[in-house]
Amino acid sequence: MLRTAASIGNTIDTRLAALQGYPIDLYQIHHPYGGFSSIPAQVRAMAQLAKDSRIRSIGVSNFSAAQMEQASAVLATYGLTLASNQVKINALHRNIETNGVLAAANRLGVTLIAYTPLESGILTGRFHDDPQAVESLTRVRRIAGGFAKKVTQATPLVDELRAVAKAHDVSLSQVALSWLVTYYDDTVVAIPGASKPHQATQAAAAMSVQLSATERAGIADASRRSGAL
């Protein structure tokens, strides 16, 4: 945030030093309006780092379809491609299907990295199992984005996730993650997020959950009924 195109190159040595020999496989521009320089200027600075072998691939975050096209066009002049766009995607938030981001990603060969894949815990079933758990959240979190309303709206989806989870003897979160990384074929990967070791272990195990086409379609339908689209 508050970066300039020049700062992208000026700070790379510090970042590489902090990694103590590990390479930067993916370097992302976070938020299209987070800097004082234009998107093309920032992308050109990133491209130069790639050409100098300081980073291996270039990504962005929260870019619209048009901004993805713009970044991709700039990189093409360097013989480079846009690797990723990190955006919010989950079974309760499927805006990528209507705002052009998914279509642009498929057209450009860009991987979408889904953050908040469990919609702040709603898709774990925690708040449906224990409605009072909403009250334990901070006031800001409860009010921001209408959290309690989202929990209520998500009921058809959580019920469907619960049924599929029971059939596979896995958790709701594992089903939600499995759906997310398979429903969009190879276009979407997820950042599951974990505050405890067992959560990271459980998220990794989601890769072993094999949903049928019928189950994926059922979850997609329930998500629509829950207002995801």
The per-residue pLDDT for range 87-133, each reduced to its tens digit, is: 999 999 999 999 999 999 999 999 999 999 999 889 998 888 777 66
Q: For the segment 183-219, what is each residue's pLDDT rounded down to a tens digit?
A: 999 999 999 877 888 888 888 989 999 999 999 999 9
> For the chain, what is the domain count?
1
* pLDDT given for residue 33 in this prediction: 81
* Cα-trace Rg, the chain: 19
Q: Is residue 24 part of a domain?
A: no
Q: Is residue 25 part of a domain?
A: no
Q: Which amino acid is at 10?
A: N
Please say if the pLDDT value at position 138 is more than 80. Answer: no
Q: Is residue 47 part of a domain?
A: no
Q: Is residue 96 part of a domain?
A: no
Q: For the segment 159-191, what is each residue's pLDDT rounded down to a tens digit?
A: 999 999 999 999 999 999 999 999 999 999 999
Average per-residue pLDDT for the chain:
92
The 3-state DSSP class for residue 63 equals: coil
Q: Whole-prediction pTM value?
A: 0.92
Q: For the segment 11-58, what is each residue's pLDDT rounded down to a tens digit?
A: 999 999 999 999 999 999 988 886 789 999 999 999 999 999 999 999
Dihedral (Cα; 206, 207, 210, 213), 10-degree rounding: 100
Q: Is residue 142 part of a domain?
A: yes
Q: Is residue 206 part of a domain?
A: yes
d(CA 112, CA 122): 21
Contact 209/202 with Cβ under 8 angstroms? Answer: no
Q: Which domain holds residue 160?
A: 119-185+196-229
Please say if the pLDDT value at position 135 is more than 70. Answer: no
Q: Is residue 229 part of a domain?
A: yes
Q: Is residue 87 part of a domain?
A: no
